[in-house]
């Protein structure tokens, strides 16, 4: 009851805003008291309303009351502090459902700050003080608050378990060591703790070393990320620059072709216009001469006719139609064909080189991945299949390409291929347009009386940096083979 009375006294001299003892107490017109700074801060937030209220009874005041320190109340609070009025515990000092409560406190229990392994109870800060002050508690072991203190008591002998049985791997009391655990490998709990502590330290060192290793790996990976981003950004920038240059070059060539065509157009049209004007003048003169002749032909006086006839001017030399040679309107079609050929060649180059570019991009692999199992069956090989097309610009003249340049037939007659520097002229060979790298697996369909051998080679599959070489040695007299389709 005395403690409750002190609690009530404290509440009577506490500020309802800060919930602590009054500091520089002031009384406002409604009679309630507060710390001067507390009520000032509260009213500062109400300045916009120009109406000030009491935090407890909500009575309002206008204008803002003038605050004067209550010296009598201030002296009383100071006197109560000197006489030992202790601050009541705040709500957060009381034990909750998840906290370890002080076993000594009565009524509402405070949080325990330590547990004693000898007393097997937990203490709040106040009740723990004797353990610090009295020499009788010097050998007591204090630990962090624990709800499992009773687990340290042997359920069989009701003794504190200070031993450890290594045979059964469990904590025991001294009586257990001479009873059911007699003859077992037993040590003190402290000794076992020291042993396990050393193992724990070794485990921690290993963990810490692994943490350091992983942090180094993380740092290295971060550097790799930065390097990849930097390299990619630089490559994208350079590629954009190169492609922009190509586009500018194409634009210039397009402009040059347009300018040349227009210039030639103007030249040819001028020549035709000049000839048209000459013909128009000749037609005008002929029409005038015809009119004179017609007029003279209608003269009835014979003497007058004979007199005027010699005065007729002779005809000028005529432009013969055979001198006007008009070529068929296909002059500029040759330009279109030439431009188309350039386009086709550019497409071929881009198609051939794009495979290298794309493969080079996909080969950028920082992390080492687990190697895939080497394929053994046809189905496993087919997972990596790709289409191969043959290049007609390289085909031997007796090779006929068909089925979208995926099929080649050896013919007895030469085919009408245009001249090309890459064309094979001696062996029956043709190159593929696609480039392949690394180990390759081939499937080639053969038809007819054809066998496959290494020497003499009937089908040789060779590779070079930019394309794959299909070499077909068919129709060799030494092999005794007929022309066949494969």
Q: Comparing 71-80, 372-381, 382-391, 464-473, which segment has the lowest mean pLDDT? A: 464-473
User: Which has more pLDDT, 240 or 310?
Assistant: 240
Q: How confident is the model at residue 370 (pLDDT cuts 50, 70, 90)?
A: low
- For the cut 70, the answer to whether the pLDDT of residue 371 exceeds it is no
* Omega before 329 within 30 of 0, i.e. cis: no
Are the C-beta atoms of residues 167 and 184 closer than 8 Å to each other? Answer: yes
pLDDT, tens digit, 9 for 90 and up, residues 296-326: 888 888 888 888 888 877 776 666 655 666 6
pTM of the model: 0.38
Task: Say how many residues make up the chain.
Answer: 486
User: What pLDDT sits at residue 214?
Assistant: 92
Question: Under DSSP, is residue 407 helix (H, G, I), strand (E, B) or coil?
Answer: strand
pLDDT, tens digit, 9 for 90 and up, residues 384-434: 777 778 888 888 888 988 887 888 888 888 888 878 888 888 888 888 877
Mean predicted confidence (pLDDT) in 279-295: 89
User: What pLDDT sits at residue 84?
Assistant: 54
Mean predicted confidence (pLDDT) in 279-301: 88
pLDDT, tens digit, 9 for 90 and up, residues 121-173: 899 988 998 898 888 888 888 888 988 888 888 888 888 888 999 888 898 98
Mean of all residue pLDDT scores within the chain = 79
User: What pLDDT sits at residue 457?
Assistant: 28
pLDDT > 70: what percent of the chain? 79
- For the cut 80, the answer to whether the pLDDT of residue 47 exceeds it is no
Nearest Cα neighbor of 196 from 167, 169, 159 is: 169
Percentages (nearest 5) of helix, strand, coil residues in the chain: 45, 10, 45
User: Which has more pLDDT, 273 or 383?
Assistant: 273
Q: How confident is the model at residue 447 (pLDDT cuts 50, 70, 90)?
A: low
Q: How many CB atoms lie within 10 A of CB 396?
A: 21
- For the cut 80, the answer to whether the pLDDT of residue 444 exceeds it is no
User: What pLDDT sits at residue 454?
Assistant: 28
Phi-psi region of 475 (alpha: psi -120 to 50; beta: other; left: phi over 0): left
- For the cut 50, the answer to whether the pLDDT of residue 62 exceeds it is yes
The CB-side HSE value for 216 (13 A sphere, CA atoms) comes to 5
Mean predicted confidence (pLDDT) in 102-124: 88
Q: Comparing 24-28, 78-82, 231-235, which segment has the lowest mean pLDDT? A: 78-82
User: What pLDDT sits at residue 438?
Assistant: 61
- For the cut 60, the answer to whether the pLDDT of residue 22 exceeds it is yes
Nearest Cα neighbor of 320 from 278, 373, 376 is: 278
Q: How confident is the model at residue 383 (pLDDT cuts 50, 70, 90)?
A: confident
């Amino acid at each position: 009851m005395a403690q409750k009375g002190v609690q009530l006294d404290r509440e009577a001299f506490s500020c309802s805003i800060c919930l602590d003892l009054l500091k520089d107490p002031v009384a406002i017109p409604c009679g309630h008291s507060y710390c001067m700074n507390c009520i000032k801060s509260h009213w500062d937030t109400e300045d916009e309303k120009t109406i000030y209220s009491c935090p407890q009874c909500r009575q309002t005041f206008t204008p803002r009351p003038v605050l004067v320190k209550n010296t009598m109340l201030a002296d009383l609070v100071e006197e109560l502090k000197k006489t030992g009025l202790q601050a009541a515990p705040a709500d957060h000092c009381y034990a909750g459902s998840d906290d370890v409560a002080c076993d000594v406190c009565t009524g509402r229990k405070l949080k325990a700050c330590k547990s004693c392994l000898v007393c097997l109870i937990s203490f709040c800060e106040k009740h723990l003080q004797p353990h610090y002050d009295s020499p009788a508690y010097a050998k007591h072991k204090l630990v962090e608050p624990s709800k499992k203190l009773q687990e340290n008591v042997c359920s069989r002998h009701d003794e504190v378990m200070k031993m450890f049985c290594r045979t059964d791997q469990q904590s025991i009391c001294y009586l257990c060591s001479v009873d059911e655990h007699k003859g077992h490998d037993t040590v003190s709990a402290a000794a076992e703790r020291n042993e396990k502590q050393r193992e724990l330290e070794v485990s921690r060192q290993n963990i810490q070393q692994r943490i350091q290793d992983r942090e180094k790996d993380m740092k290295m990976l971060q550097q790799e990320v930065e390097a990849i981003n930097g390299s990619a950004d630089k490559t994208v920038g350079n590629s954009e620059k190169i492609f922009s240059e190509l586009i500018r070059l194409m634009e210039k060539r397009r402009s040059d072709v347009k300018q040349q065509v227009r210039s030639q157009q103007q030249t040819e049209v001028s020549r035709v216009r000049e000839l048209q004007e000459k013909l128009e003048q000749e037609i005008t003169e002929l029409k005038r001469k015809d009119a004179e002749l017609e007029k003279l032909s209608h003269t009835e006086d014979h003497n007058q006719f004979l007199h005027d006839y010699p005065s007729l001017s002779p005809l000028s030399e005529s432009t013969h139609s055979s001198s006007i040679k008009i070529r068929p309107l296909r002059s500029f079609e040759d330009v279109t064909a030439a431009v188309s050929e350039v386009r086709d060649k550019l497409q071929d180059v881009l198609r051939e080189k794009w495979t290298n570019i794309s493969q080079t991009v996909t080969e950028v692999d920082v992390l080492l991945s687990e190697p895939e199992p080497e394929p053994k069956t046809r189905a496993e090989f087919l997972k990596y299949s790709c289409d191969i097309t043959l290049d007609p610009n390289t085909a031997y003249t007796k090779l006929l390409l068909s089925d979208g340049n995926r099929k080649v037939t050896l013919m007895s007659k030469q085919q009408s291929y245009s001249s090309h520097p890459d064309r094979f002229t001696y062996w029956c060979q043709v190159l593929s347009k696609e480039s392949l790298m690394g180990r390759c697996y081939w499937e080639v369909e053969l038809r007819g009386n054809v066998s496959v051998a290494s020497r003499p080679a009937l089908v040789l599959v060779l590779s070079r940096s930019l394309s794959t070489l299909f070499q077909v040695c068919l129709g060799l007299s030494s092999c005794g083979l007929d022309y066949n389709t494969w």
